Structure formats: C-alpha cells, structure tokens
C-alpha cells in the first residue's frame, strides 16, 4: 500500500502518520483539533481540519482515493464505529480501526472492519513479554506464531545447529543469527557454525514452543 488516511491525531495516530511518511508513503491526516493538525501539516501529504463523523467532509477530502484508512480516534466508541462505517460506504479499500475494549472490537468486526488494533494493549503485552523472559530482546507475533530475538543461551555457546537440533527439542526454527561484531543478521545461518557469546538469535515458533524455549533459558 502506498497511501494512507490517518483519522485522529492522538499520540498513536500522530506517531503512525509520521512513521508512514518516513517509509515514503503518502499520508493524509484528519482531526477536529486545529493545533494537532497544524503541528503535523508540514510533514504529511495533506492535512484536514474537521469532524470525521461528517460524511461530506470525508468525501470532499477524497478518502476513497487512499489505499488504507486508519481510525485512530480517542473519542467515544460510537464515533469510531460511525467513521468506520462511513469509510467502508465511501469505498476505502482497507479500513483499520482502533478498539478500546473487547466489546468495541466485536462491534467493529460485525460492521466489516478489515483489521482491528489495540495499540495500548499490544504495546503493554509486548513489553510484559520482553521483561518477563530472560534474554528476550524483541518479538513480533502473527497468527499464533512468534518471531523472537534472544541473546544466545550460555548452553548454546560453542555448539552448532546440528548438535543442538532446536527444532526437535523445542519445535522452533532458527531463522537468523546476528554476531556481536556485526549489526547485519545472517538469515541463512550455516548448520555447522558454532554460536558465540554475544550472538543474537532470531527464532520462530508457536506460542507454546516459544514458552518451552523461554523456560529453558
């Protein structure tokens, strides 16, 4: 996707808009708060001050011309639902909406929202996982799988993949190794390369398999 419409310029919406711009995407922002819009206007492709629950405003702004719209509003849940419905009716190809609780999420699902995000919940869950697991540096999660970056366990140092066979022992796959001397990961680590102190290892597995590895570490 090349173009995005970000509706709502709270901390999450503003951060998302600026990050997309950094990635070379076309970004339009919409918010009723003139100060928030003006603060970001020079950094984005287009900036609109107005009430996104107004269908005429959305139509005039050309939201349907954008590949994806993200509803990041922090107002009441009914406004988020209304804006999501309007975006779908106006023909936006993909609509992502911010949910504030599980009940809100269910309503957004029923009205056909393409993707639902819990930015605060997801950030808290990610931080909690990283802080609660020894040697975990970072992780991403999708469809029941995690890709976790860990510091190499002491028990692995000096041994290679053939000797350790982590797929058989833990059900995980080693997808990358970054040595202490290099910032560039090796995405096809040789099976006979011994692990060294300071290595950062990218592993992929189900939640259950990652938990098994975490207990080992």
Task: Give the domain CATH number at 166.
Answer: 3.30.70.1450
Task: Provide mean pLDDT across the span 17-26.
Answer: 91
CB 76 within 8 A of CB 88: no
* pLDDT exceeds 60 at position 52: yes
- Of 50-64, 68-82, 97-111, which one has max mean pLDDT? 50-64
One DSSP character per residue, 165-205 reads -HHHHHS-EEEEEE-TT-SS-BSS--TTPPB-TT-EEEEEE
- Report whether 83 contacts 7 (CB < 8 A): yes
pLDDT at residue 203, as a whole number? 86
Q: Which DSSP string corresponds to 24-90? A: T-EEEEEES-HHHHHHHGGGSSEEEES-TT-HHHHHHHTGGGSSEEEE---S-HHHHHHHHHHHHHT
**CB distance 149 to 200 below 8 Å:** yes
Q: How far is CA 141 from CA 1, 10, 124, in A?
A: 21, 25, 14
| φ/ψ (deg, to 5) at 174 | -85, 115
pLDDT by residue (tens digit) across 108-152? 999 999 998 887 766 655 555 555 555 566 656 666 677 888 888
Angle between helices 102-110 and 77-89 (to 10 degrees): 20
Say yes or no: 165 and 112 in one domain.
no
More confident residue, 143 or 82: 82
pLDDT the model gives residue 134: 59
Distance between CA atoms of 174 and 94, rounded to whole angstroms? 33
The pLDDT assigned to 123 comes to 61
**Average pLDDT over the chain, rounded to an integer:** 87
194: containing domain:
123-216
End-to-end Cα distance, the chain: 39
Q: Hey, how many other C-beta atoms are within 10 angstroms of the C-beta on 145?
A: 14
In this prediction, residues 47-72 reach a mean pLDDT of 96
Residue 59 has pLDDT above 90, yes or no: yes
Do residues 165 and 97 share a domain?
A: no
Whether 94 and 67 have beta carbons less than 8 Å apart is answered as yes
Query: CATH no. for residue 37?
Result: 3.40.50.720
71, 89, 117 — which closes off a domain? 117
Same domain, 159 and 138: yes
- How high is the pLDDT of residue 136? 61
Domain boundary among 117, 149, 172: 117
Higher-confidence residue of 8 and 151: namely 8
Answer yes or no: do 113 and 128 share one domain: no
């Amino acid at each position: 996707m090349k173009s995005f419409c970000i509706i709502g310029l709270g901390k999450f919406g503003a951060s998302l808009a600026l990050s997309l711009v950094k990635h070379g995407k076309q970004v339009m922002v919409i918010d009723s708060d003139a100060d928030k819009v003006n603060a970001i206007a020079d950094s984005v492709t287009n900036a609109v001050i107005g009430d996104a629950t107004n269908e005429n405003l959305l139509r005039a702004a050309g939201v349907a011309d954008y590949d994806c719209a993200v509803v990041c509003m922090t107002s009441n849940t009914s406004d988020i639902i209304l804006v999501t419905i309007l975006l779908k009716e106006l023909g936006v190809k993909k609509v992502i909406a911010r949910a504030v609780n599980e009940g809100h999420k269910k309503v957004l699902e029923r009205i056909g929202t393409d993707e639902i995000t819990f930015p605060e919940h997801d950030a808290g869950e990610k931080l909690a996982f990283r802080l609660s697991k020894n040697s975990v540096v970072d992780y991403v999660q999708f469809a029941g799988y995690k890709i976790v970056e860990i510091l190499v366990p002491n028990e692995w140092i000096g041994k290679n993949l053939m000797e350790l066979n982590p797929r058989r022992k833990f059900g995980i796959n080693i997808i990358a190794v970054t040595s202490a001397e290099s910032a560039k990961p090796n995405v096809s680590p040789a099976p006979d390369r011994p692990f060294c102190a300071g290595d950062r290892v990218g592993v992929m597995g189900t939640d259950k398999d990652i938990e098994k590895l975490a207990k080992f570490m």
